[in-house]
Structure 1
Amino acid sequence: MFKHLLFCFCAVVLLLTGCTSKFSYNNVDWLLYWYVDDYVELEKSQKKRLDVKVEKWLKWHRQEELVRYRQHLEELKSQVEQGNISEEQWLSHLARASSHWQRFRDEISLELSELSVYLNDQQIIDMFEALEKDNLEKVEKRNKKTEQERWQENKEDTTEQMQDWLGRLSEQQKILISESVEKFESTFESWIEYRREIQSASKNLMLNREKQSDYIEQFNQLIQNPDQFKSESYIKASQHNRKVYAALLADLLPTISEKQKRHLIKEIDDLIDDIQDLIED
Structure 2
Amino acid sequence: MEDLGFLNRSYWLGFFRILLLCPLLVSCNTLYITYSTADWIVLWKLDRYFALSSTQEHYLDIQVKAFHVWHRHDQLPQYAQFLGEIDQSSKHELSQAALENIVASVERFRVHLAKRVAPPGAKFLATVTPAQIRHFEEVLDQDYRRLVSEIGDEPKERVDKRMEATAETLTSWVGELSEDQETYIRERMKAIPDTADVWLAYRRSRQEQLLELLRSSHDPFILEQGLY
Normalization by structure 1: what TM-score?
0.56
**2:56 aligns to what?**
46
Q: Unpaired runs of 5+ in structure 1?
A: 1-14, 225-281
Distance 2:107 2:162 in 1: 22
State yes or no: 1:192 paired with 2:200.
yes
Distance 1:61 1:97, change over 3 A: same
What letter is aligned with 1:180? A
Q: CA deviation at 1:126?
A: 0.3
Helix, strand or coil at the partner of 1:39: helix
Distance 1:173 1:133, change over 3 A: closer
Distance 2:191 2:166 in 1: 10
Distance 1:134 1:84 in 2: 38
Contact 1:128 1:203 (C-alpha < 8 Å) held by counterparts: yes
Q: CA deviation at 1:152?
A: 4.0
**1:234 aligns to what?**
none
Distance 1:126 1:173, change over 3 A: closer
Contact 1:39 1:126 (C-alpha < 8 Å) held by counterparts: yes
Distance 1:206 1:156, change over 3 A: closer
Q: Unpaired runs of 5+ in structure 2?
A: 1-21
Q: If you compute each CA radius of gyration, which structure gives the higher value, 1 or 2?
A: 1
Distance 2:44 2:111 in 1: 24
Contact 2:150 2:161 (C-alpha < 8 Å) held by counterparts: no
Distance 2:168 2:222 in 1: 41
Percent of pairs with identical residues: 21
Q: CA deviation at 1:45?
A: 0.7
Distance 1:95 1:57 in 2: 23
Q: Deviations over 1:18-70 (max 9, x none)?
A: 22222233222322233333323211111111122112212322332122123
Distance 1:108 1:116 in 2: 12
Helix, strand or coil at the partner of 1:84: coil
Out of 178, 181, 191, the position equivalent to 1:180 is 191
Contact 1:202 1:219 (C-alpha < 8 Å) held by counterparts: no
What letter is aligned with 2:209? A
Aligned residues: 197
**1:37 aligns to what?**
47
Divergent runs of 4+, >6 A: 155-161, 172-176
Contact 2:213 2:226 (C-alpha < 8 Å) held by counterparts: no
Distance 1:174 1:43 in 2: 43
What letter is aligned with 2:212? N
Q: Deviations over 1:221-273 (max 9, x none)?
A: 3221xxxxxxxxxxxxxxxxxxxxxxxxxxxxxxxxxxxxxxxxxxxxxxxxx
Out of 216, 220, 223, the position equivalent to 1:216 is 220
Normalization by structure 2: what TM-score?
0.67
